[in-house]
Amino acid sequence: MRTMEIIKYLLPDIKQTRWHNRSDYYSLFVAISHHADEYVFSDNKMNQLSKKLISFGKKVDDAVKKEGSSRDRNISLYAKAVMAGATDRDRRLDRDKILYQNIESCIPKKRV
């Protein structure tokens, strides 16, 4: 599966989520594309990841409204990275790393 197909499958209503924002979409695209060959994308796991990404996005939205404050460290770090600016390389790397961890927690890696 190609990266854009995976994202369309995960987030069919992407415009209703924070992932339609350019920097969030870019981070999601990078996190998936850099590791797509490592994962087994079953329907069940994709549905699980879809729910996780939607929930994560809503929590980030809430944290942004609270100036980056959240009890969840990753939510807070992602929200602060979004607020710091889309072009800041270190913040972009923070977003990519957090998204990669979310993907990795749902989608198993292929066995070699």
Q: What is the pLDDT of residues 77-109, one digit of tens each?
A: 999 988 887 677 888 888 989 998 888 888 777
Q: Residue 111 domain-assigned?
A: no
Residue 33 pLDDT grade (very low, low, confident, very high; cuts 50, 70, 90): confident
| pLDDT for the residue 107 | 79
Q: Residue 31 domain-assigned?
A: yes
The number of folded domains in the chain is 1
The whole-angstrom separation of Cα 2 and Cα 9 is 11
Q: Which residue has the tokens 């809503």?
A: 58
pLDDT at 15 over 80: yes
Q: Residue 75 domain-assigned?
A: yes
The whole-angstrom separation of Cα 71 and Cα 96 is 20
- Burial string for 90-109 (b: 16+ CB within 10 Å, else e) reads ebbebbbebbbebbeebbee
Q: Residue 112 domain-assigned?
A: no
Section 64-71 average pLDDT: 87
Q: Which domain holds residue 88?
A: 3-106
| pLDDT for the residue 39 | 74
pTM of the model: 0.86
Which ranges in 16-88 belong to alpha helices (H)? 22-33, 43-65, 73-84
Residue 111 pLDDT grade (very low, low, confident, very high; cuts 50, 70, 90): low
Section 5-14 average pLDDT: 94
Q: Residue 54 domain-assigned?
A: yes
